[in-house]
Amino acid sequence: MKTRYTVYKSDISYFSGKLEAYLRYKGIVYKAVECGQREMKKIAQTTGVKKMPAVEMDNGQWLFDTTPMLEWFEQQHPEPCTTPDDPALAFLALLIEDYGDEWLWRPAMWWRWVPRASRWAVGYAIGKAFAPTLLARPLGWVFGRRQQREWLWGDGVNLANEASVRDMLFREFEFLERLLARQPFLLGSHPSAADFGYFASMFRHFGNDPDSAEVMRRQAPNTYEWLARLWNASADKLPKAIEWQWPETPEWQPFLQRIAADYLPYLHQNALAFQRGQKRFDFTGHSLAFQGTKTTNYRVYCRERLQQQYLQLTTADRDKLEQLFKSVGGLGGLQADGVIVSGLAESFILPREAKSGRSSFKWIRSQPRN
């Protein structure tokens, strides 16, 4: 008998879209439950984490956090495969997934919560899910201001760098438009972890929110088409033979530089701040700087996990990756100062037995990703 899955999610959720796209592609049957106040309370009580998406299995066990969830599903449902057979390319797919999940969070927050049309539309949708209709608009207004305060103005975004945060979206379009004009998915003929990680922000935020969706339709039609293609992808619609592509074409260089010179240094500086017990730190990268950004222990875990996966590669595969990143500064930021332990690794061993009692709200505070 096949395991039955109930997915607790939201149609405007960054990571719900990522998980659903993956399940749809893999042909994994699930029951979708749109989250309101009651469902969020259930998730919090049974997993200890008040976040969605979360998956309840018919044996009473739970899955949460999309990256370990996708890894677990990949083991349980290996076909169609989303992991490149080249170990170096497989690691790159996971690195791109992490970049899409974490680094694109700020521009996703900007485009959703700063433009008025998007802020009002999404705020109202959230208000309707968690309050009576008469209270939906005021609750949405309060929630929108809270999101701005929590993830933008209170997390290192200011007048000096706001335009750069906004324009992060256009830098991604420059990369994606050229790549997707030539091939259907980021690493070749079929979807990989790289596609699903990038999809999270691109679909639910950039591709659906009023302001950014109009920008994408006009300026990034190949990207817009890729969102629909991935959402509708399934094994029977694609060739049986998978052709993975090593990233050698010119459009990859600026993108790889953002990973090597901005994202990995951010993870490194965040981990150092965590190690020193600092609640905030000043980040300086190649193209962006954030003063007083929050120290996030979840992103210490993200770096720890990437480091472990990198060290499991053979010397030849690590050399292959170093050569790929050589012209943009290398992967030094990944291993600088060694492994800084987050203390969260055991929390993401899946599946988890259902808990009883109150959720550990303190543990999830200021942890944006799921």
**Is residue 153 included in any domain, yes or no?**
no
**Is residue 106 included in any domain, yes or no?**
no
How far is the C-alpha of 22 from the C-alpha of 209, rounded, in Å? Answer: 21
Q: Given a cut of 80, is residue 369 above it in pLDDT?
A: no
Residue 326 binned pLDDT confidence (cut-offs 50, 70, 90): very high
CB atoms within 10 A of CB 93: 24
Instruction: Show the tokens assigned to 90.
Output: 């497989």
pLDDT tens figures, 114-129: 999 999 999 999 999 8
HSE-CB at 160 with a 13 A cutoff on CA atoms is 6
CB atoms within 10 A of CB 247: 18
How far is the C-alpha of 204 from the C-alpha of 198, rounded, in Å? Answer: 11
**Is residue 25 included in any domain, yes or no?**
yes
What are the C-alpha distances in Å from 336 to residues 115, 219, 253, 268?
38, 38, 22, 7
**Is residue 127 included in any domain, yes or no?**
no
**Is residue 46 included in any domain, yes or no?**
yes
Q: Is 303 helix (H, G, I), strand (E, B) or coil?
A: helix
Residue 52: domain span: 5-80+349-364
User: What stretches of the chain adopt beta strand conformation (E)?
Assistant: 5-9, 30-34, 54-57, 61-64, 280-284, 289-294, 352-353
Q: Average pLDDT for residues 161-180, to the nearest whole number?
A: 98
pLDDT tens figures, 79-98: 999 999 999 999 999 999 99
pLDDT tens figures, 49-78: 888 999 999 999 999 999 999 999 999 999
Global confidence as pTM: 0.95
**Is residue 117 included in any domain, yes or no?**
no
Q: Supply the DSSP symbol for 244.
A: B
What total of structural domains would you count in the chain? 1
CATH number of the CATH domain containing 15: 3.40.30.10
How far is the C-alpha of 290 from the C-alpha of 299, rounded, in Å? Answer: 16
What's the helix, strand, coil split of the chain in %, to 5? 60, 10, 30
How far is the C-alpha of 369 from the C-alpha of 342, rounded, in Å? Answer: 15
**Is residue 60 included in any domain, yes or no?**
yes
Give the residue among 71, 68, 67, 50 at the shortest CA–CA distance from 8: 50
How far is the C-alpha of 264 from the C-alpha of 196, rounded, in Å? Answer: 20
Q: What stretch of H or E contains 77?
A: none
Q: Given a cut of 80, is residue 357 above it in pLDDT?
A: no
204 neighbors 243 (Cβ within 8 angstroms):
no
Q: Given a cut of 50, is residue 360 above it in pLDDT?
A: no
pLDDT tens figures, 97-119: 999 999 999 999 999 999 999 99
Q: Can you give the pLDDT at residue 48?
A: 83
HSE-CB at 214 with a 13 A cutoff on CA atoms is 7
**Is residue 65 included in any domain, yes or no?**
yes
Q: Average pLDDT for residues 227-249, to the nearest whole number?
A: 95
